[in-house]
Protein backbone atom coordinates (compact mmCIF):
# COMPACT_ATOMS: atom_id res chain seq x y z
CA UNK A 1 0.00 0.00 0.00
CA UNK A 2 2.77 2.42 0.87
CA UNK A 3 4.40 1.88 -2.54
CA UNK A 4 1.11 2.49 -4.36
CA UNK A 5 0.41 5.59 -2.26
CA UNK A 6 3.85 7.01 -3.01
CA UNK A 7 3.35 6.20 -6.68
CA UNK A 8 0.15 8.22 -6.78
CA UNK A 9 1.72 11.14 -4.92
CA UNK A 10 4.70 11.30 -7.24
CA UNK A 11 2.58 10.92 -10.38
CA UNK A 12 0.52 13.88 -9.23
CA UNK A 13 3.68 15.82 -8.35
CA UNK A 14 5.23 15.22 -11.75
CA UNK A 15 1.95 16.07 -13.47
CA UNK A 16 1.65 19.32 -11.53
CA UNK A 17 5.26 20.11 -12.33
CA UNK A 18 4.55 19.54 -16.00
CA UNK A 19 1.56 21.87 -16.07
CA UNK A 20 2.05 24.47 -13.38
CA UNK A 21 5.71 25.48 -13.03
CA UNK A 22 5.96 29.09 -14.12
CA UNK A 23 8.17 30.18 -16.98
CA UNK A 24 10.21 32.40 -14.71
CA UNK A 25 11.22 29.44 -12.55
CA UNK A 26 11.69 26.83 -15.27
CA UNK A 27 15.45 27.09 -15.44
CA UNK A 28 15.84 27.80 -11.72
CA UNK A 29 13.65 25.31 -9.87
CA UNK A 30 15.38 22.25 -8.46
CA UNK A 31 13.71 19.14 -7.09
CA UNK A 32 14.29 18.60 -3.37
CA UNK A 33 17.73 17.10 -2.79
CA UNK A 34 16.28 14.16 -0.92
CA UNK A 35 17.75 10.71 -1.42
CA UNK A 36 14.78 9.06 0.27
CA UNK A 37 12.39 10.74 -2.15
CA UNK A 38 14.43 9.53 -5.12
CA UNK A 39 14.59 6.00 -3.76
CA UNK A 40 10.82 5.99 -3.20
CA UNK A 41 9.91 7.29 -6.64
CA UNK A 42 12.22 4.90 -8.47
CA UNK A 43 11.98 2.00 -6.05
CA UNK A 44 10.29 -0.29 -8.56
CA UNK A 45 8.86 -0.42 -12.06
CA UNK A 46 5.36 0.48 -10.88
CA UNK A 47 6.36 3.79 -9.32
CA UNK A 48 8.70 4.67 -12.20
CA UNK A 49 5.91 3.97 -14.69
CA UNK A 50 3.62 6.25 -12.68
CA UNK A 51 6.08 9.11 -13.03
CA UNK A 52 6.45 8.46 -16.77
CA UNK A 53 2.66 8.37 -17.13
CA UNK A 54 2.56 11.78 -15.48
CA UNK A 55 4.92 13.07 -18.14
CA UNK A 56 2.68 11.69 -20.91
CA UNK A 57 -0.34 13.29 -19.24
CA UNK A 58 1.51 16.60 -19.20
CA UNK A 59 2.28 16.26 -22.91
CA UNK A 60 -1.43 16.03 -23.68
CA UNK A 61 -2.36 18.81 -21.26
CA UNK A 62 0.16 21.43 -22.37
CA UNK A 63 3.11 20.97 -24.72
CA UNK A 64 4.13 21.68 -28.31
CA UNK A 65 2.46 18.40 -29.37
CA UNK A 66 -0.86 18.97 -27.64
CA UNK A 67 -3.83 19.75 -29.84
CA UNK A 68 -4.04 23.47 -29.13
CA UNK A 69 -0.33 24.27 -29.41
CA UNK A 70 1.68 23.64 -32.60
CA UNK A 71 -1.32 22.86 -34.81
CA UNK A 72 -3.14 26.05 -33.86
CA UNK A 73 -0.27 28.46 -33.18
CA UNK A 74 1.92 27.51 -36.12
CA UNK A 75 -1.15 27.11 -38.32
CA UNK A 76 -2.03 30.73 -37.61
CA UNK A 77 1.58 31.78 -37.97
CA UNK A 78 1.87 30.27 -41.45
CA UNK A 79 -1.07 30.03 -43.85
CA UNK A 80 -3.25 27.17 -42.61
CA UNK A 81 -5.50 29.38 -40.49
CA UNK A 82 -6.80 32.95 -40.41
CA UNK A 83 -7.69 34.71 -37.17
CA UNK A 84 -10.84 36.82 -37.36
CA UNK A 85 -11.01 38.31 -33.85
CA UNK A 86 -8.64 41.10 -34.84
CA UNK A 87 -9.36 43.16 -31.73
CA UNK A 88 -8.56 40.33 -29.33
CA UNK A 89 -5.83 41.03 -26.79
CA UNK A 90 -4.76 37.43 -26.21
CA UNK A 91 -1.71 37.51 -28.51
CA UNK A 92 -3.22 35.39 -31.29
CA UNK A 93 -3.91 38.26 -33.73
CA UNK A 94 -0.22 39.16 -33.62
CA UNK A 95 0.82 35.59 -34.39
CA UNK A 96 -1.64 35.42 -37.26
CA UNK A 97 -0.45 38.79 -38.60
CA UNK A 98 3.25 38.00 -38.00
CA UNK A 99 3.64 41.02 -35.73
CA UNK A 100 4.52 39.13 -32.54
CA UNK A 101 6.98 40.63 -30.05
CA UNK A 102 8.99 39.04 -27.25
CA UNK A 103 6.28 39.73 -24.64
CA UNK A 104 3.56 37.96 -26.63
CA UNK A 105 1.62 35.54 -24.43
CA UNK A 106 2.00 32.62 -26.80
CA UNK A 107 5.65 33.28 -27.55
CA UNK A 108 6.10 32.64 -23.83
CA UNK A 109 3.58 29.83 -23.32
CA UNK A 110 4.95 27.67 -26.15
CA UNK A 111 8.43 27.98 -24.62
CA UNK A 112 7.13 27.38 -21.08
CA UNK A 113 5.18 24.27 -21.93
CA UNK A 114 8.17 22.67 -23.63
CA UNK A 115 10.76 23.47 -20.98
CA UNK A 116 8.50 22.39 -18.12
CA UNK A 117 8.32 18.92 -19.67
CA UNK A 118 12.05 18.97 -20.47
CA UNK A 119 12.70 19.60 -16.78
CA UNK A 120 10.48 16.68 -15.80
CA UNK A 121 12.23 14.50 -18.38
CA UNK A 122 15.59 15.40 -16.86
CA UNK A 123 14.32 14.52 -13.39
CA UNK A 124 13.24 11.07 -14.63
CA UNK A 125 16.57 10.42 -16.36
CA UNK A 126 18.45 11.42 -13.21
CA UNK A 127 16.21 9.27 -11.03
CA UNK A 128 16.82 6.23 -13.21
CA UNK A 129 20.59 6.47 -12.78
CA UNK A 130 20.48 5.12 -9.23
CA UNK A 131 17.36 2.97 -9.59
CA UNK A 132 19.03 -0.35 -8.77
CA UNK A 133 15.77 -2.11 -7.92
CA UNK A 134 14.20 -1.61 -11.34
CA UNK A 135 14.90 -4.46 -13.81
CA UNK A 136 17.30 -3.52 -16.59
CA UNK A 137 14.70 -4.01 -19.33
CA UNK A 138 12.24 -1.66 -17.63
CA UNK A 139 14.95 0.95 -17.01
CA UNK A 140 15.93 0.81 -20.66
CA UNK A 141 12.35 1.26 -21.84
CA UNK A 142 11.60 4.15 -19.49
CA UNK A 143 14.87 5.86 -20.36
CA UNK A 144 14.25 5.38 -24.07
CA UNK A 145 10.74 6.81 -23.94
CA UNK A 146 11.90 9.77 -21.87
CA UNK A 147 14.79 10.54 -24.23
CA UNK A 148 12.40 10.55 -27.18
CA UNK A 149 9.96 12.88 -25.41
CA UNK A 150 12.74 15.26 -24.38
CA UNK A 151 14.20 15.21 -27.89
CA UNK A 152 10.83 15.91 -29.50
CA UNK A 153 10.35 18.91 -27.20
CA UNK A 154 13.84 20.24 -27.95
CA UNK A 155 13.13 19.72 -31.66
CA UNK A 156 10.06 21.94 -31.61
CA UNK A 157 11.72 24.64 -29.52
CA UNK A 158 14.75 24.66 -31.84
CA UNK A 159 12.60 24.87 -34.94
CA UNK A 160 10.54 27.77 -33.56
CA UNK A 161 13.21 29.79 -31.72
CA UNK A 162 16.52 28.84 -33.34
CA UNK A 163 19.47 28.86 -30.91
CA UNK A 164 18.12 27.72 -27.53
CA UNK A 165 19.26 26.62 -24.06
CA UNK A 166 19.82 22.87 -23.83
CA UNK A 167 19.49 21.88 -20.14
CA UNK A 168 20.13 18.21 -19.40
CA UNK A 169 20.07 18.42 -15.61
CA UNK A 170 17.79 19.63 -12.82
CA UNK A 171 20.71 21.39 -11.12
CA UNK A 172 19.62 25.01 -10.76
CA UNK A 173 23.21 26.20 -10.29
CA UNK A 174 23.85 25.13 -13.88
CA UNK A 175 20.46 25.97 -15.36
CA UNK A 176 20.09 29.48 -13.97
CA UNK A 177 23.00 30.75 -16.05
CA UNK A 178 22.86 28.45 -19.04
CA UNK A 179 23.58 30.03 -22.42
CA UNK A 180 22.21 29.19 -25.85
CA UNK A 181 23.30 26.19 -27.88
CA UNK A 182 23.58 26.84 -31.63
CA UNK A 183 20.65 25.52 -33.60
CA UNK A 184 22.68 23.03 -35.65
CA UNK A 185 24.27 21.62 -32.50
CA UNK A 186 20.85 21.15 -30.90
CA UNK A 187 19.83 18.97 -33.84
CA UNK A 188 23.05 16.98 -33.58
CA UNK A 189 22.55 16.38 -29.86
CA UNK A 190 18.94 15.27 -30.13
CA UNK A 191 19.86 13.08 -33.09
CA UNK A 192 22.37 11.36 -30.83
CA UNK A 193 19.86 11.04 -27.99
CA UNK A 194 17.20 9.51 -30.24
CA UNK A 195 19.72 7.03 -31.64
CA UNK A 196 20.46 5.98 -28.06
CA UNK A 197 16.74 5.66 -27.38
CA UNK A 198 16.27 3.44 -30.44
CA UNK A 199 18.80 0.99 -28.99
CA UNK A 200 16.88 0.94 -25.69
CA UNK A 201 13.36 0.49 -27.08
CA UNK A 202 11.56 -2.41 -28.71
CA UNK A 203 8.86 -2.43 -31.38
CA UNK A 204 6.34 -3.80 -28.88
CA UNK A 205 3.68 -1.34 -27.78
CA UNK A 206 2.89 -1.11 -24.06
CA UNK A 207 -0.76 -0.39 -24.86
CA UNK A 208 -3.05 -1.45 -27.71
CA UNK A 209 -3.99 2.17 -28.39
CA UNK A 210 -0.33 3.01 -29.10
CA UNK A 211 -0.27 5.80 -26.53
CA UNK A 212 3.30 5.04 -25.46
CA UNK A 213 6.42 5.45 -27.56
CA UNK A 214 8.03 2.39 -29.16
CA UNK A 215 11.14 1.94 -31.31
CA UNK A 216 9.36 2.86 -34.53
CA UNK A 217 8.05 6.13 -33.09
CA UNK A 218 11.65 6.92 -32.12
CA UNK A 219 12.83 6.05 -35.63
CA UNK A 220 10.24 8.34 -37.19
CA UNK A 221 11.44 11.18 -34.95
CA UNK A 222 15.01 10.42 -35.96
CA UNK A 223 13.97 10.60 -39.61
CA UNK A 224 12.29 13.98 -39.00
CA UNK A 225 15.45 15.32 -37.37
CA UNK A 226 17.65 14.04 -40.19
CA UNK A 227 15.31 15.59 -42.76
CA UNK A 228 15.60 19.00 -41.08
CA UNK A 229 19.40 18.53 -41.24
CA UNK A 230 19.06 17.77 -44.97
CA UNK A 231 20.67 14.35 -44.43
CA UNK A 232 18.70 12.76 -47.24
CA UNK A 233 20.40 9.36 -47.48
CA UNK A 234 20.46 8.84 -43.71
CA UNK A 235 16.81 9.85 -43.46
CA UNK A 236 15.97 7.44 -46.26
CA UNK A 237 17.50 4.52 -44.38
CA UNK A 238 15.81 5.52 -41.12
CA UNK A 239 12.35 6.06 -42.60
CA UNK A 240 12.43 2.78 -44.50
CA UNK A 241 12.60 0.95 -41.16
CA UNK A 242 9.23 2.52 -40.36
CA UNK A 243 7.36 2.11 -43.64
CA UNK A 244 8.56 -1.47 -44.08
CA UNK A 245 7.45 -2.54 -40.60
CA UNK A 246 4.60 -5.09 -40.51
CA UNK A 247 3.20 -3.14 -37.54
CA UNK A 248 1.71 -0.55 -39.88
CA UNK A 249 -0.64 -0.65 -42.83
CA UNK A 250 -1.70 2.30 -44.96
CA UNK A 251 -5.27 3.41 -44.21
CA UNK A 252 -7.11 3.48 -47.53
CA UNK A 253 -10.42 4.73 -46.11
CA UNK A 254 -10.25 8.51 -45.78
CA UNK A 255 -13.09 8.50 -43.23
CA UNK A 256 -11.04 6.40 -40.80
CA UNK A 257 -7.72 8.24 -40.74
CA UNK A 258 -8.41 9.92 -37.39
CA UNK A 259 -9.93 6.95 -35.59
CA UNK A 260 -7.71 5.71 -32.79
CA UNK A 261 -7.72 2.01 -33.73
CA UNK A 262 -6.01 2.38 -37.11
CA UNK A 263 -2.90 0.35 -37.88
CA UNK A 264 -1.46 3.42 -39.64
CA UNK A 265 -1.07 5.17 -36.27
CA UNK A 266 2.45 5.19 -34.86
CA UNK A 267 1.91 7.24 -31.69
CA UNK A 268 -1.02 9.13 -30.23
CA UNK A 269 -1.93 10.90 -26.98
CA UNK A 270 -4.97 9.91 -24.94
CA UNK A 271 -7.30 12.61 -23.55
CA UNK A 272 -7.08 13.32 -19.84
CA UNK A 273 -10.41 11.68 -18.95
CA UNK A 274 -12.36 8.87 -20.56
CA UNK A 275 -14.98 10.35 -22.85
CA UNK A 276 -13.19 13.68 -23.27
CA UNK A 277 -12.95 15.06 -26.77
CA UNK A 278 -9.50 15.63 -28.16
CA UNK A 279 -8.64 19.33 -28.29
CA UNK A 280 -8.50 19.31 -32.08
CA UNK A 281 -12.21 18.41 -32.18
CA UNK A 282 -13.28 21.58 -30.39
CA UNK A 283 -10.78 24.43 -30.88
CA UNK A 284 -11.48 24.81 -34.61
CA UNK A 285 -15.23 24.28 -34.35
CA UNK A 286 -17.80 26.97 -35.08
CA UNK A 287 -21.30 26.63 -36.51
CA UNK A 288 -24.18 28.74 -37.86
CA UNK A 289 -22.24 32.00 -37.60
CA UNK A 290 -19.19 33.75 -38.96
CA UNK A 291 -16.02 32.66 -37.16
CA UNK A 292 -15.34 34.59 -33.98
CA UNK A 293 -11.80 33.27 -33.66
CA UNK A 294 -10.21 31.26 -36.47
CA UNK A 295 -11.06 29.41 -39.67
CA UNK A 296 -9.12 27.68 -42.40
CA UNK A 297 -7.39 30.21 -44.63
CA UNK A 298 -8.63 31.04 -48.10
CA UNK A 299 -5.29 30.05 -49.59
CA UNK A 300 -5.48 26.60 -47.98
CA UNK A 301 -9.08 25.94 -48.98
CA UNK A 302 -8.47 27.08 -52.56
CA UNK A 303 -5.57 24.62 -52.89
CA UNK A 304 -8.04 21.71 -52.85
CA UNK A 305 -9.52 20.77 -56.23
CA UNK A 306 -12.00 17.86 -56.18
CA UNK A 307 -10.12 16.53 -53.17
CA UNK A 308 -11.85 14.13 -50.80
CA UNK A 309 -9.93 15.65 -47.89
CA UNK A 310 -11.89 18.86 -48.35
CA UNK A 311 -15.13 16.87 -48.32
CA UNK A 312 -14.34 14.77 -45.24
CA UNK A 313 -11.82 16.81 -43.23
CA UNK A 314 -13.40 20.28 -43.50
CA UNK A 315 -16.78 21.67 -42.52
CA UNK A 316 -18.36 24.53 -44.45
CA UNK A 317 -20.30 27.26 -42.65
CA UNK A 318 -22.32 29.65 -44.85
CA UNK A 319 -23.83 32.83 -43.41
CA UNK A 320 -25.18 35.74 -45.44
CA UNK A 321 -23.77 34.43 -48.68
CA UNK A 322 -20.25 34.04 -47.23
CA UNK A 323 -18.67 30.66 -46.62
CA UNK A 324 -15.91 29.79 -44.17
CA UNK A 325 -14.36 26.40 -43.48
CA UNK A 326 -13.39 24.81 -40.20
CA UNK A 327 -10.96 21.96 -39.64
CA UNK A 328 -13.01 18.85 -38.94
CA UNK A 329 -10.54 15.99 -38.95
CA UNK A 330 -11.61 14.95 -35.45
CA UNK A 331 -15.38 14.72 -35.06
CA UNK A 332 -16.19 13.33 -31.59
CA UNK A 333 -16.95 16.48 -29.59
CA UNK A 334 -18.76 14.65 -26.77
CA UNK A 335 -18.74 11.16 -25.29
CA UNK A 336 -15.59 10.43 -27.23
CA UNK A 337 -14.64 6.76 -27.43
CA UNK A 338 -13.11 6.69 -30.91
CA UNK A 339 -10.39 9.35 -31.13
CA UNK A 340 -7.02 10.16 -29.62
CA UNK A 341 -4.71 12.99 -30.65
CA UNK A 342 -2.41 11.54 -33.30
CA UNK A 343 1.22 12.68 -33.04
CA UNK A 344 2.77 10.38 -35.66
CA UNK A 345 1.00 8.48 -38.44
CA UNK A 346 2.30 6.43 -41.33
CA UNK A 347 1.47 9.07 -43.94
CA UNK A 348 4.14 11.33 -42.48
CA UNK A 349 6.77 8.62 -42.91
CA UNK A 350 5.55 8.11 -46.50
CA UNK A 351 5.87 11.76 -47.50
CA UNK A 352 9.17 12.28 -45.69
CA UNK A 353 10.59 9.20 -47.40
CA UNK A 354 9.27 10.35 -50.78
CA UNK A 355 11.00 13.69 -50.23
CA UNK A 356 14.28 12.10 -49.13
CA UNK A 357 14.26 9.92 -52.26
CA UNK A 358 13.31 12.80 -54.56
CA UNK A 359 16.12 14.92 -53.13
CA UNK A 360 18.51 12.17 -54.26
CA UNK A 361 16.85 12.04 -57.69
CA UNK A 362 15.42 8.58 -56.99
CA UNK A 363 12.20 9.49 -58.72
CA UNK A 364 10.70 6.07 -59.44
CA UNK A 365 11.40 4.97 -55.86
CA UNK A 366 9.64 8.04 -54.45
CA UNK A 367 6.34 7.70 -56.34
CA UNK A 368 5.00 4.71 -54.34
CA UNK A 369 5.09 6.85 -51.21
CA UNK A 370 3.15 9.85 -52.52
CA UNK A 371 0.70 8.18 -54.89
CA UNK A 372 -1.23 6.19 -52.23
CA UNK A 373 -1.98 9.46 -50.44
CA UNK A 374 -3.12 11.11 -53.66
CA UNK A 375 -5.20 8.03 -54.59
CA UNK A 376 -6.98 8.04 -51.23
CA UNK A 377 -7.80 11.75 -51.73
CA UNK A 378 -9.21 11.08 -55.22
CA UNK A 379 -6.39 12.96 -56.91
CA UNK A 380 -4.58 12.10 -60.18
CA UNK A 381 -1.51 9.98 -59.67
CA UNK A 382 1.98 11.11 -60.63
CA UNK A 383 3.66 9.33 -63.53
CA UNK A 384 7.23 8.50 -64.38
CA UNK A 385 7.65 11.66 -66.46
CA UNK A 386 7.51 13.94 -63.41
CA UNK A 387 10.67 15.99 -62.91
CA UNK A 388 12.54 16.30 -59.64
CA UNK A 389 11.40 19.89 -59.13
CA UNK A 390 7.79 19.00 -59.91
CA UNK A 391 7.88 16.07 -57.52
CA UNK A 392 9.33 18.09 -54.65
CA UNK A 393 6.64 20.72 -55.19
CA UNK A 394 3.96 18.02 -55.24
CA UNK A 395 5.29 16.58 -51.98
CA UNK A 396 5.23 20.01 -50.34
CA UNK A 397 1.65 20.54 -51.52
CA UNK A 398 0.58 17.09 -50.36
CA UNK A 399 2.08 17.74 -46.94
CA UNK A 400 -0.01 20.90 -46.69
CA UNK A 401 -3.25 19.21 -47.71
CA UNK A 402 -2.63 16.06 -45.68
CA UNK A 403 -1.45 17.65 -42.43
CA UNK A 404 -3.17 21.04 -42.16
CA UNK A 405 -3.64 22.03 -38.50
CA UNK A 406 -1.57 19.02 -37.36
CA UNK A 407 1.52 19.49 -35.20
CA UNK A 408 2.86 22.55 -37.03
CA UNK A 409 3.63 20.55 -40.18
CA UNK A 410 3.28 23.48 -42.54
CA UNK A 411 5.89 25.53 -40.67
CA UNK A 412 8.33 22.61 -40.44
CA UNK A 413 7.91 21.66 -44.10
CA UNK A 414 8.38 25.18 -45.43
CA UNK A 415 11.39 25.66 -43.18
CA UNK A 416 13.03 22.46 -44.39
CA UNK A 417 12.37 23.46 -48.01
CA UNK A 418 13.83 26.93 -47.45
CA UNK A 419 10.52 28.44 -48.53
CA UNK A 420 9.20 30.18 -45.43
CA UNK A 421 9.62 33.56 -47.12
CA UNK A 422 7.09 32.48 -49.75
CA UNK A 423 4.51 33.26 -47.07
CA UNK A 424 4.94 36.89 -48.13
CA UNK A 425 2.52 36.08 -50.97
CA UNK A 426 -0.38 35.62 -48.54
CA UNK A 427 0.97 37.17 -45.31
CA UNK A 428 1.81 40.84 -45.98
CA UNK A 429 3.67 41.37 -42.69
CA UNK A 430 5.99 38.40 -43.18
CA UNK A 431 9.70 39.27 -43.03
CA UNK A 432 12.86 37.19 -43.11
CA UNK A 433 13.23 37.53 -39.33
CA UNK A 434 9.99 35.59 -38.87
CA UNK A 435 11.72 32.31 -39.66
CA UNK A 436 12.12 32.16 -35.87
CA UNK A 437 10.17 33.66 -32.98
CA UNK A 438 11.75 36.03 -30.48
CA UNK A 439 13.03 34.52 -27.25
CA UNK A 440 10.53 35.29 -24.46
CA UNK A 441 11.27 38.63 -22.85
CA UNK A 442 11.10 37.38 -19.26
CA UNK A 443 13.62 34.62 -19.99
CA UNK A 444 16.17 37.19 -21.17
CA UNK A 445 15.55 39.29 -18.07
CA UNK A 446 16.01 36.30 -15.77
CA UNK A 447 19.06 34.94 -17.56
CA UNK A 448 21.16 37.49 -19.49
CA UNK A 449 23.29 34.61 -20.80
CA UNK A 450 20.47 33.93 -23.29
CA UNK A 451 21.20 37.21 -25.05
CA UNK A 452 21.37 38.40 -27.75
CA UNK A 453 17.73 38.41 -28.75
CA UNK A 454 16.92 36.89 -32.14
CA UNK A 455 17.65 39.26 -35.01
CA UNK A 456 14.89 41.74 -35.80
CA UNK A 457 13.07 41.57 -32.45
Furthest C-alpha separation in the chain: 68
- 452 part of a folded domain: no
The tens place of each residue's pLDDT in the chain, 457 residues long, gives 444 334 444 444 554 444 444 334 434 434 444 444 556 778 899 999 999 999 999 999 999 999 899 999 999 999 999 999 988 899 999 999 999 999 999 999 999 999 999 999 999 999 999 898 999 999 999 999 999 999 999 999 999 999 999 999 999 889 999 999 999 999 999 999 999 999 999 999 999 999 999 999 999 999 999 999 999 999 999 999 999 999 999 999 999 999 999 999 999 999 999 999 999 999 999 999 999 999 999 999 999 999 999 999 999 999 999 999 999 999 999 999 999 999 999 999 999 999 999 999 999 999 999 999 999 999 999 999 999 999 999 999 999 999 999 999 999 999 999 999 999 999 999 999 999 999 999 999 999 999 999 999 9
Long-range contacts of 424-431 (CB under 8 A, 24+ apart): 426/79, 426/297, 426/299, 427/78, 427/79, 427/97, 427/98, 429/97, 429/98, 429/99, 430/98, 431/98, 431/456
- 257 part of a folded domain: no
Q: Please answer whether residues 338 and 357 qualify as being in contact, where contact means their C-beta atoms are separated by less than 8 angstroms.
A: no
pTM tops 0.95, yes or no: no
Q: Please answer whether residues 128 and 134 qualify as being in contact, where contact means their C-beta atoms are separated by less than 8 angstroms.
A: yes
- 47 part of a folded domain: yes
- 213 part of a folded domain: no
For the chain, the domain total comes to 1
Whole domain around residue 8: which residue ranges?
Answer: 1-141
- 417 part of a folded domain: no
- 324 part of a folded domain: no
Give which of 229, 219, 204, 17 is closest to 118, Cα–Cα: 17
CA dihedral 141, 144, 150, 151 (to 10 degrees): -150
- 42 part of a folded domain: yes
- 153 part of a folded domain: no
Backbone angles phi, psi at 82, to 5 degrees: -125, 135
Amino acid sequence: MKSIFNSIIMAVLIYLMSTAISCEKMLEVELPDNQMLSETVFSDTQTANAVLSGLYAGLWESSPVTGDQSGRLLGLYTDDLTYYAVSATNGLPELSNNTQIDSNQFVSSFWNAAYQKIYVSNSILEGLEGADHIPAADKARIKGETLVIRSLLFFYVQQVYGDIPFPVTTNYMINQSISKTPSAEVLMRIESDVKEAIELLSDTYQNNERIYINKKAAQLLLGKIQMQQLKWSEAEATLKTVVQSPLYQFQNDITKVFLKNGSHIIWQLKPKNNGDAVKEATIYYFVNAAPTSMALSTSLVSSFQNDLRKQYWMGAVTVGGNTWYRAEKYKARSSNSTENSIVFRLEEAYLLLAEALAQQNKMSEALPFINPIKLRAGQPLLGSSVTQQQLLEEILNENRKEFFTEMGHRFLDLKRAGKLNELQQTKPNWKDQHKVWPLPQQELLLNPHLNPQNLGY
